[in-house]
Each structure stands twice: as C-alpha cells, then as structure tokens.
Structure 1
Amino acid sequence: MTDIDPKLAAATDARTAPVAVWKVLSELKGDALKDWRVAEVHNRPSAEERGIDLPFPLGWFALGYSDELKVGEAVPLRYFGRELVMWRGEDGKPRVLDAYCRHLGAHLGYGGRVSGNLIECPFHAWRYDGEGVVREIPYSSSIPPQVKRPCAHQWVVEEANGFIWTWYHPHGEAPRWELDHYPEASDPAWTDYQRHEWFVYGPLQSMAENGVDNAHFQFVHGTAGFPDAEIKWDGQRRSGIVSAKMGTPAGEVDGRIVNGQNGPGQAYTRFEGISETLLVAAITPIDKDRVHARFAFTQPRTQAEGPGAGLARALIRDICKQFDQDKVIWDRQAYLHDAIICAGDGPIMKYRRYYQQFYAEQSPSPARAAG
C-alpha cells in the first residue's frame, strides 16, 4: 500500500462524505437517481470540444438482455453510430441488420414485423433474412438481383450469460475471439440478475481506463487509501486483482476485487471480502461520445436471501454508487492524447497501448508516460 498522509487518509475515509462528486449525487434517491443515470446531459461540451475523436473499438458487445426480446418481436437499436434492427425469429434465434430497407430507406425497426424468421419492412413488406438478403416481395413477381446478395456488413449474433451479443468490426470482419461464459449466470444456486443501467457521455476507452487508475479510488470513491493492484495482459484479455480497505458500519475490512475483460465490450468483476458477488458489465458504444452501460449482478442465494441479505444488497448499492460517482466526471471529461502521467497513477499509458489493438481504424498513438 502506498504511504499516505494520515490527515489525507482521514479526510477521504469511506465512512465520511467529503469527496466532491458526492455532492452532485447527494439529493438523488430512488427513482430520481435512476432517471439521472439515463437522462440526457444537455449542458455538456461537444465531442469536438472535448477532443473525443476515437474510433469505435472492435469486439463483442451486448445489445440487450436475452429475455427482453421475445419470439416474433423486432426492436430498433442504435449502436456504433448506426441505426440497427434486432429481431427473434420463430426458430428462437436473434438476428441483427442495419436498419434501413434497401428499397426506399424505411427503418425496419419502427413498424417492421417478424414473418417466420424474416424481418418485414413496414413500407412495402420486403422481407429480409439475417444476412440482409431479400427473400420475398409479396407484390412482385421478381426480386432485383442487387438485393439477392448479402449485405456487405454482417452482424454476427450470439447469446451468452443472459445477454444478446454482436461482434462489431468497422469493416465487417469475422470474430477474432470467442465470448466468455460465466457459470454463475446459469447456476440455480445464484440469484437472477439484479439490473442497473446508465448512459455515459464519453468514449468507452476513458471508462475502461478507470480500472487501472489506482489514485482515483481514494479521491472519487473515498477508499481509505490507494489500492494495491496486480494486472496481467494477455492478447485481448486483461485481468486484475485490487486489494483495498472498505468502510463498513462495523469498521474497515480487507476487500478483494478480481476483474477481467475479454476485449473492450465484455467484462466481469468478482467482489470478495464483504459478500460474494459477480458483476457482468456489458458496455456498448452508441456514438463517439455516448455509451450504454449495463450492470448485471448475481449473488449466492444463501447470501442474498439469507441472514446476510442486507449486506449483500448494500454491496450492490455501493458498487452502483461508485459508478454514479465516476459518471459525474466521465460525462464532461476531455480526452487527452498527450495526458501527463505521474508516479502513483497506475499503468494508464500501458493500458492505452493495450487498447490500440481494438482499433481497426486509425487512432492516434498514446503518449509515453512521464518520468
């Protein structure tokens, strides 16, 4: 643990509330807090003013929870700066296409309906399969040859861990790695997901860097000190173990946070020390300066429904509170390619170099760490 001035440590103890961002959230409770998490931030600076010029990273990204899309249902989506339509055919499989009909440009997600395993345009009932091939035009004796071919951009779709995922690559290339599967997500001994969501107005990379920013845990989240972190890098994977003191009504306890990511869009965190918890974090970019974050929590039923239920619920509330605190900063944070890093910050620049592998499009190289 890094040595800290005792007066500074006391001023930022987790059992007190001096941290500046907490004041923004102090009056938000219940539904008001939930509304704030997904509300438009109207007075934020533009992406251009904030230097947000990063491409969308490639990888697996969540489009929604599996149980939110029923058989025979079609829904509009916007991710990766594109309008999309997602539907579940009679065979139970989810499919995704770019949303605009190749005929006269109607949006398939608004008024479109499922016909068997096809999506039907609300304008003239052209029917597409999951590759974007027009299979039926009910009023015509022929199908134009241009729409008998699959769309150039293919959306690979899979279901895992209670989510619907798609592989994103700006040039439509095939997946480079497989999704991770978490056994707790389908284990009857663990609870159904407790779900929380946010819209964050910043680039996904800035949010991801947070996990290796050791110093912010004290100054944003009020931990009693800077956490000890062990981080490993392996191809598209990153894993880490963070040890930190956690404040509770009974005093501080030693906590451990084991986290990992499989590319930029699929991540997990396991919390140990207070109440065992798995957090599945599904983070998907909407536009260059807007991200959809979904947190799905599951816990052992013996803890969540037993004598320790109150503590288990409190842990989830605290994790979400920390994300709220980060969001206050992320929503207006500039992105600095030439960020100046000092001793104690953590491996932020190493993380930026790791993250470069997820940009198929040109992205400025991260600056070297100072010192």
Structure 2
Amino acid sequence: MAASTDARTAPVAVQQVLSQLKGEELKTWRVAEVRNRPSADERGIDLPFPLGWFAIGYVDELPVGEARPIRYFGRELVMWRGEDGQVRVLDAYCRHLGAHMGHGGRVVGNLIECPFHAWRYDGEGIVREIPYARAIPPQVKRPCAHQWVVEEANGLIWTWYHPFGEKPQWALEHYPETSNPEWTPYQRYEWFVYAPLQSMAENGVDSAHFQFVHGTAGFPDAEIFWDGHRRSGVVSAKMGTPTGEVDGRIVSGQNGAGQSYTRFEGISETLLVAAITPIDRDRVHARFAFTQPRAEAEGPGAGLARALIRDICKQFDQDKVIWDRQAYLAKAIICDGDGPIIRYRRYYEQFYAERAPVPAAALA
C-alpha cells in the first residue's frame, strides 16, 4: 500500500541502469550514443517514416538571419530564418556541386547562400542568384521536387513530412496554455532514443508495462478514443502525494504520428507537449516541454509541481533503457491484459504512405 501514498514510483529492474546517474551525468546519458547496440536490421526495424507534423526545433532557438544543419527522416536538411522572420527548410545539398548548406551557409535576406560558390536559394529551392554567372541554369529555376512546409506553433517549429512530398492533410493543434502569460515558460528536456517511433508510441497503450517498468501499484484503466488521424485517452485514478491521495486525471491526445500532448490534472496542473521526431530508422529525437500555472509552479505547491515533472522524466528514462535495444516484432504475440496494442498498430498503419491503405473495417 505504500505506493499509493507517494507520487514517486518504486524502484524497478531498469533502475539498476539509472540509479548511479544524477544531474549532468543523467542529462548526458539521455542524449549519448548507445554503443554496441544491435543494428536496425538485427532488431527487425524496417518501418518507414510516418507522415505527419513533426517538431524540428524551438522557436526561440533560431534567430533571424541564422542557418543551421538538421537531420530528420533519414535526410540532411538546412533550416534558416530569413529577415522576414519566416523559417524555411530545404534538403541540405546544393544542386550545384553538392556542398552541405547547413555547414557554413549564410542567410542573405530571405535566401540561403551555399558556402561553396554562393548560389542563393529561396524556400522552394529555386536558385535566385549566382554572383559570378551571366545566366542561371534552367534546371535550378524550378522548385525542388520535395517541398518542406513549415509552421510555428506552441513555441516549436514544425515541418510536415510526407515521403512523396504531398501537402499537409490536417492542421497543427494549438494549445492555449503555451501562450498564456499565467503559465510558465517551458521546462525543456531531451533524449535521443534508439528505436522506431512506432515502438515508442505503442508504449502509451501498453497497460502491463506500467507495473513492471515504472513500479506502479497496478495497471491503469484508460478510456481510449479513435477518430481518424487523432487518438485521445483519459485515465482517472487516485494519485498518491506526500500528503495523501487525490483524485486525478491524465488526459492525452495525439494529432497524427508526430504531435501529442498530455495534461495532468489533480496533483499539479501540467501540460506536457511531446515533440518526438525520427532521425533515422532506429534513432528518434524526443523533446519534452512542460508548462504549469505560475500560481502552482511558483507558489506553495512548487515542490510538488517540480516533483511531478521529475517523475514523468524518470519514467521516460526507464522506458529508454528498454527501447534502446528492443527488437520490433511485426507479429508480436499479445495476451489479455496487455492493452490495445494491436488496435494501436492498425491505427498507426494510416501514417505509412508507402504501404497499401488499411481497409476502414480493420481500424474499427
């Protein structure tokens, strides 16, 4: 019964890996390469990148006039913010002689300039200027085949990914807390996880792992709702705090494969914006951005508010220990009590554009 009177999870098997990591060592572990791990092929990771909106940075990390290299979806990209304040993204390699424009490239007005021969591109990949040439070759006067649609929302920079370059099929969600001055600026955490995005996403409906990985007293009973590209869930439960139990709710939502949120109600009001973006087949960049009401985060309940965030991050650390070496089994053997993992996989299939569409009946 002790677990029901304290918000902190009990020690579990994966804690043997984490128990010696504190402070800066823990932060370093979260983003460090996992050496001697099995390859993606050995682990059966052959999943495509899912389509959808994905975060590629925080808004305040990219000032006007700055360019930076990024890598997502198995591609080298360059991202820059022009003088007009707009963020643009292109495939990174110059169409001239292949220089990487994210390394040494500079912003000129709203254009990105290649560091090799100063060819200048707009956000569609059209070469607008070549300083030493009398004429621009006609092949580079046309937009690039793959266009990267970019939007800013909730303090993050997002791009729409589709393997065939198709336009966005749904809109980004906006969370009012992120622009409310009565809520705190983001507390930010990040990880690199060596797993496919789908395996990480399935974790939210895997009921049984909460006890054995996170040390909860039992399995959470969640209501899950499926609506096209959206999924939402509600967990209502008694939550332990140092002063006793309170009625709490965890409300989560998923807007396609790349945008999700979780609202924690009861212990300390908290919004978690989870921005999780695939880099390669077996590597994912995970950002957790937390905001809380200032009255709670900076008031008498500040300690509890901080403890909630620590516990959420600790649970993600525990999951990472598993994910970093987990194989992907396309024909997983599921038993009663596991939660709707197979149903979730059917839902997720719609985000793989390279695969044949799943019949609507299979998603029911």
| TM-score between the two structures when normalised by the length of structure 2 | 0.95
Q: How many equivalent pairs are there?
A: 358
Once the two structures are superposed, the pairs formed by residues 129-278 of structure 1 within 5 Å of their partners are 129-278=122-271
Partner residue, 2:119: 126
Aligned sequence identity (%): 84
What secondary structure does 1:291 align onto?
strand
Q: In the alignment, residue 29 of structure 1 is paired with which amino acid?
A: K
Runs of 4+ in 1 over 4 A off after TM superposition: 13-16
Contact 1:337 1:364 in 2 (8 A): no
Q: Residue in 1 aligned with 2:299? A: 306
Contact 1:225–1:244 (CA under 8 A) maintained in structure 2:
no
Output one character per residue of 1:127-179: Cα deviation in whole Å (capped at 9) or x when no partner: 00000000000011100000000000000000000000000000000000000
- Structure 1 Cα separation of the partners of residues 213 and 222 of structure 2: 17
Question: CA separation of 1:210/1:257 partners in 2, compared to 1, >3 Å: closer, same or farther?
Answer: same
In the alignment, is residue 64 of structure 1 matched against residue 57 of structure 2?
A: yes
Deviation sequence 1:6-34 (CA, Å, 0-9, x none)? 9xx979x9767441011111111100000
Contact 1:14 1:221 in 2 (8 A): no
Asked if residue 361 in structure 1 is aligned to residue 354 in structure 2, the reply is yes
2:322 pairs, out of 323, 329, 346, with 329
Instruction: For 2:344, give the aligned amino acid.
Output: Y
Give the aligned CA root-mean-square deviation in angstroms. 1.8
Alignment of 1:31-46 (within 5 A): 31-46=24-39
For the residue of structure 2 that corresponds to 1:20, the secondary structure is coil
**Contact 2:3/2:240 (8 A) holds in 1:** no
SS of match in other structure, 1:324: helix
Deviation by residue 1:247-273 (Cα, 9 ceiling, x = unmatched):
433344443210000001000000012
CA distance in 2, matches of 1:253, 1:53: 44
The answer to whether the 8 Å contact 2:196/2:283 transfers is yes
Query: Is this contact kept in 2: 1:55–1:363, CA < 8 A?
Result: no
> How far, CA to CA, are the matches of 1:134 and 1:271 in structure 2?
48
Contact kept in structure 2, 1:223 and 1:246, CA below 8 Å? no
**Counterpart code for 1:227:** P
Q: Per-residue displacement from partner, 1:23-50 (whole Å, max 9, x unpaired)? A: 1111111000000000000021110010
8 A Cα contact 2:254 2:260, kept in partner: yes
Query: Shift of residue 114 of structure 1?
Result: 0.1
Pick from 17, 37, 55: which aligns with 2:48? 55
Give me the whole-angstrom Cα distance separating, in 1, the residues matched to 2:116 and 2:133: 14
Amino acid at match of 2:304: L
Aligned amino acid, residue 135 of structure 1: R
Q: Work out whether residues 223 and 244 of structure 1, in 8 Å CA contact, stay in contact via their aligned partners in 2.
A: no
TM-score of the superposed pair, with normalisation by structure 1: 0.93
Q: Which runs of 5+ in 1 are unaligned?
A: 1-5
1:181, distance to aligned residue in structure 2 (A): 0.2
Answer yes or no: is the 8 Å Cα contact 2:350–2:357 preserved in 1. no
C-alpha separation between the residues in 1 aligned to 2:241 and 2:353? 45
The AA in structure 2 aligned to 1:314 is: A
Q: Is residue 202–residue 291 contact of structure 1 (8 Å, CA) maintained in 2?
A: yes
